[in-house]
């Protein structure tokens, strides 16, 4: 019995010894394997955006995009001037002036145009006309006559023309008659006595003159 017990004790001791020897080997084996394996490193901290200490502010523009409002200033406008248009402002002009000689007579043909630049309507038989032939060398009247206008009513936007040409003539033996037409001037006055009561400043265009 004692022999059997001793035998078991010896077996146990041998087995224990083998176990102690295998443990370091196993540990070394495990250590070798773990030492050669590359494992991903883990960070203990999380990556977070750094807090900004400055605020995003729009840059000031050098160009002014808005027009500053101006303070309203009241300006007193001058009163509107009313048009000073008279009732009568009769104007005349000559057209188709020509000179013809008949023996001792010199005849001057012309056609008269009239316009009333005023506001009133002027009838055809209300306008007196006076024609004169003047010697410009001596400033004397050779001949003259007076008639009425032979045309339509006067308008204030267009010229009215007489229906036919007028003429005035003189004889070369008439007192004051010059020897050449170059010393003669024809003057036609419209409303010479100012029957329409035109203001003096409007009378300048009542006279028509032709010379050679």
Who has greater pLDDT, 3 or 84? 84
What is the mean predicted confidence (pLDDT) over 21-45?
Answer: 47
What is the mean predicted confidence (pLDDT) over 25-30?
Answer: 44
Closest CA to 154 of 110, 201, 205: 205
Q: Is the pLDDT of residue 116 over 60?
A: yes
Q: What are the residues facing 146 on neighbouring strands? A: 130
Note the pLDDT of residue 29.
47
Give the C-alpha separation, 104 to 156, whole Å: 42
Give the C-alpha separation, 84 to 202, whole Å: 12
CATH topology of domain 90-211: Immunoglobulin-like (2.60.40)
Domain ranges in the chain? 90-211
Report if pTM > 0.75.
no
pLDDT-based confidence at residue 25 (cuts at 50, 70, 90) = very low
pLDDT-based confidence at residue 121 (cuts at 50, 70, 90) = confident
Assess contact for 87 and 122: CB atoms under 8 A: no
pLDDT in tens, 42-67: 445 555 555 555 555 555 555 555 55
User: From the centroid of its chain, how far is CA 37?
Assistant: 88
Give the C-alpha separation, 147 to 110, whole Å: 14
Q: What percent of the chain has pLDDT over 70?
A: 61
């Amino acid at each position: 019995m004692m022999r059997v017990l001793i035998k078991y004790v010896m077996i146990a001791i041998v087995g224990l010894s083998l176990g102690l020897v295998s443990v370091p080997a196993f540990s070394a084996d495990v250590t070798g394997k773990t030492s050669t394996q590359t494992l991903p490193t883990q960070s203990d901290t999380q990556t977070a955006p750094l807090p900004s200490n400055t605020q995003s502010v729009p840059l000031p523009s050098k160009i002014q995009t808005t027009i500053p409002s101006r303070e309203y200033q009241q300006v007193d406008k001058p009163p509107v001037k009313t048009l000073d248009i008279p009732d009568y402002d009769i104007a005349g002009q000559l057209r188709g002036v020509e000179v013809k000689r008949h023996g001792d007579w010199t005849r001057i043909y012309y056609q008269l145009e009239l316009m009333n630049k005023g506001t009133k309507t002027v009838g055809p038989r209300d306008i007196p006309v006076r024609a004169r032939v003047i010697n410009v060398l001596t400033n004397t009247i050779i001949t003259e006559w007076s008639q009425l206008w032979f045309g339509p009513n006067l308008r204030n936007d267009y010229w009215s023309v007489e229906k036919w040409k007028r003429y005035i003539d003189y004889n070369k033996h008439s007192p004051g008659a010059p020897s050449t037409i170059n010393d003669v001037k024809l003057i036609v006055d419209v409303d010479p006595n100012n029957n329409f009561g035109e203001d003096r400043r409007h009378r300048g265009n009542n006279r028509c003159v032709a010379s050679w």
